[in-house]
Amino acid sequence: MGVELAGIKLPNPTILASGILGVSSDIMIRAARAGAGAVVTKSFNRNGREGYRNPSFIEVPGGFLNALGIPNPGMTEMREEIRAVSKANIPVVASVFGFDREEFADAAAMGEEGGAVAVELNVSCPHVREVGVEIGQRPDMVAEVTSAVKKRVRVPVIVKLTPNVTSIAEIAIAAERSGADVITAVNTVLGMAIDVNAAAPILGGQVGGLSGPALHSVAVRAVYQINEAVGIPVIGVGGITDWKGAVEMMMAGASAVQIGTAVMYRGVDVFREITGGISKFLSENGYQSVGEIVGLAHKAGTAG
């Protein structure tokens, strides 16, 4: 069940997604010991952020809407959390963001200093202006940030893309050409909920990111398109709740998958459940490794 991404060896293809349990080292370690092959931290920047006023997280049909505003304690404190996870011999990825390319690079370098095996650039947060979608929707800005980080760190650079674009393949190509080692797809879809009695948006930040099962088919489509456009590995994320959703994402082209909202529904044991289901599927269908099913749906699309 082991997989390798940009030289990083993982015991299995499931990864704790950024934003879920990723601030405390104790909780990240718990997720790994419950079966996650790797963990991604909560996104952090140079000096931290308080985030948006409540309500910032609500349940909606098919998933959740959040407008947390990327609250985090800053890169110095997060370096120590990363260090604690790394010392436990758990592959940890530092998720970073910034208001300019230098801040992205500073946070990435701090994550590497703490022992992160890779850095994931959050250029795709849908509810924080100028650090998320505004960067992630522009190929030139994605390229600029990716290049700046590549110059500062030696570990692999993962770029996490937004689905809120006309052509996600175009953004992925820009990231690859600028040195990205891996693509993560996708972040949340921009959404909104309105309180009909108050005639006003419910979320404190008004708009938010939609995650959960409702996002899954969007993510599968994005992974499929990105896999056709670039030659670097893709990590699929978005609405995976069971082994079948993970296998579907892999057949679309994902070499590994991140699990987020399902952890909130079912706890950290979901990693072992999904990994076990994938293993059983491979065995029952005569596959020797996860790699044999990665991108398999593309072959069906060109058959005949």
The residues carrying an active-site annotation are 125
Q: What would the two tokens of residue 197 be? A: 């009695």
Position of tokens 């082991």? 2
Determine how many CB atoms are found less than 10 A away from the CB of residue 205: 22
Please say whether the beta carbons of 128 and 69 come within 8 A: yes
Q: Cβ neighbours of residue 30 under 8 Å, at least 6 residues apart?
A: 21, 268
Pairing label, strands 234-237, 256-259: parallel
Cα distance between residue 21 and residue 19, in whole Å: 6
Residue 11, judged by CB atoms within 10 A of its CB (0-12, 13-18, 19+), counts as: middle
Q: Cα 295 from chain centroid?
A: 19
